[in-house]
Structure 1
């Protein structure tokens, strides 16, 4: 009696069951296809530059509310409260007047020296504080950055808005000082609006640059006071650059650098706008073009520089 054995299937011939599984696997979409189908993106990935601008605009109310809350909380523990928003820059101006105006004699041959000095201190403080707070904008808010998804540029920009609000409080005191020292209101005061607008764009761009640098190098915030102090002394806050340079044997390149210094440009524009004794001859050549150029360079360049590292903030 013969025994018939079935021939096993050839390896090249797939079983019906295996063929169905392979077909199912081939038909299943990949994770990338699923993400594309449902519009999913990698969490924390950098959006395109136009999309990033749109996201910032959509969160404009958050940015302004955050800035106002920071300004309100700044002196909430002090007994004088928000009065310190005006007292702090005034006390700084008083110290500079004593040291530079009286002891070093920089007030000689400078008409309306007190309004001249106070204007310089207030405008410089706007830039100084914008840079300092911007340097710590990311590194000092890591809990917020890691907990919520939002465009990180909101933080340094909101800190600049906070400093602008602080400056507007100080400007109220400046107007009183101008009137007390016999500086009459004039149509030129309206020039302060475009001057402050250009300075705000410059400060915001510089703050964005420092925010990116400070997020990777926290020690930078310890170095900034020394760098800012050096910048202040070369910006004509306490003295007139025009009068100090006249009649001195200083290389022309040094004169040009001092006159084109962005902080000095915005300070001079504000003095020209508010103080009638500060005339156009004391301004550097093409001052409005300089102010607009610095604002465009720092504002646009700083924004793009910050955006390029958007997906790295708060990591590591």
Structure 2
């Protein structure tokens, strides 16, 4: 008599193996791209200027910072092409802050969808990240135009910009996954994250060079400033557009944070996959 081997029982709600989960994400990749494309188109459709606000809002922020820090507080002292330098800082920092802030709501604002449709939940923060990458390309176009107006023409360093965007986006996605899970369990997280990013604006070299901070701190605090992931991403784009110094240490910090955030953030997010949408 032929023996029949019964396959091992598996709980109905068991988590998928990693590679099976990644395959599911790849099969549903259209979900992660179509949704943000529609969101970008609809974001300012009720306004007169429409999609121009994708660059209009950050440019207004740059104008305010330029008047306060560049003119009134003289933060532009010793910085060549301060307006472009500041614009790069604001646009790059906003890419991370907006992605992570939206990521905090990735689960809580889609609970109806989660309950109705079976799909890898990690696609929600992926969709959020992709949406802000699309918007950032508008801003990169504005940066390119502003750079040319200031006499800084395209050069080989510009070829590194897409690579830098991938590195920064990997960090953004990992951070978005972390706050998405945290906010699903503790809804106060979405209120705390904006405050942390406002604080980070002043500690990341957005409006003034970090050398001003380095001169006043030492020891562990100085190391924390040097290991700041946000300032490292600003440095990448400033090197591309302005030719400011870029060290191997800064590249290592940027890549290291991206790797750690993406790997750990994905694992942290996925551990709670079965709990999302249950209230």
TM-score by length of 2: 0.93
Aligned residue among 217, 224, 228 for 1:261: 228
Are the counterparts in 2 of residues 106 and 238 from structure 1 also a CA contact under 8 Å?
Answer: yes
Report whether the alignment pairs 1:271 with 2:238: yes
Query: How many angstroms apart in 1 are the aligned matches of 2:178 and 2:37?
Result: 23
Within the candidate set 250, 256, 261, 1:293 is matched to 256
2:218 is the counterpart of 1:251: yes
Cα pair distance change 1:230/1:245, threshold 3 Å: closer
1:113 Cα shift? 0.4
Say whether 1:76 aligns with 2:45. Answer: yes
Q: Which structure 2 residue ranges, 5 or more long, are not aligned?
A: 1-5
Shift of 1:74: 1.1
Do the aligned residues in 2 keep the contact of 1:192 with 1:274 (CA within 8 Å)? no
Q: Which runs of 5+ in 1 are unaligned?
A: 1-32
CA distance, structure 2, for counterparts of residue 275 and residue 110 of structure 1:
11
1:109: Cα distance to partner? 0.7
Q: Distance in 2 between matches of 1:303 and 1:250?
A: 34
Residue correspondence of structure 1 range 1-316 to structure 2 within 5 A: 42=12, 45-242=14-211, 244-245=212-213, 248-276=215-243, 278-280=244-246, 283=247, 286-316=249-279
2: CA distance between counterparts of 1:117 and 1:89? 11
Q: Which deviates further from its counterpart, 250-259 or 295-304? A: 250-259
Q: How big is the shift at 1:249?
A: 4.4
1:53 deviates by: 1.1
Query: Displacement, 1:192?
Result: 1.3
| Structure 1 counterpart SS, 2:112 | helix
Cα distance in 1, alignment partners of residues 221 and 249 from structure 2: 17
* TM-score (normalizing by structure 1): 0.83
In structure 2, how many angstroms separate the alpha carbons of the residues matched to 1:228 and 1:192? 23
Residue number in structure 2 paired with 1:12: none
The structural deviation recorded for 1:160 is: 0.5
**How far off its partner does 1:245 sit?**
4.0
Structure-1 separation of matches of 2:191 and 2:42: 23
Q: What's the CA shift for 1:240?
A: 0.8
Report the Cα distance in structure 1 between the residues aligned to 2:47 and 2:187, rounded to whole angstroms.
28
**Alpha-carbon distance in structure 2 between the residues aligned to 1:116 and 1:59:** 39
| Cα contact 1:49–1:307 (8 A) shared by 2 | no
Q: Using the TM superposition, name which of 222-231 and 248-257 deviates more.
A: 248-257
> 1:68-103 CA deviation, whole Å, 9 max, x = no partner?
111111112212111111111111111111111111
3-state secondary structure, aligned to 1:314? coil
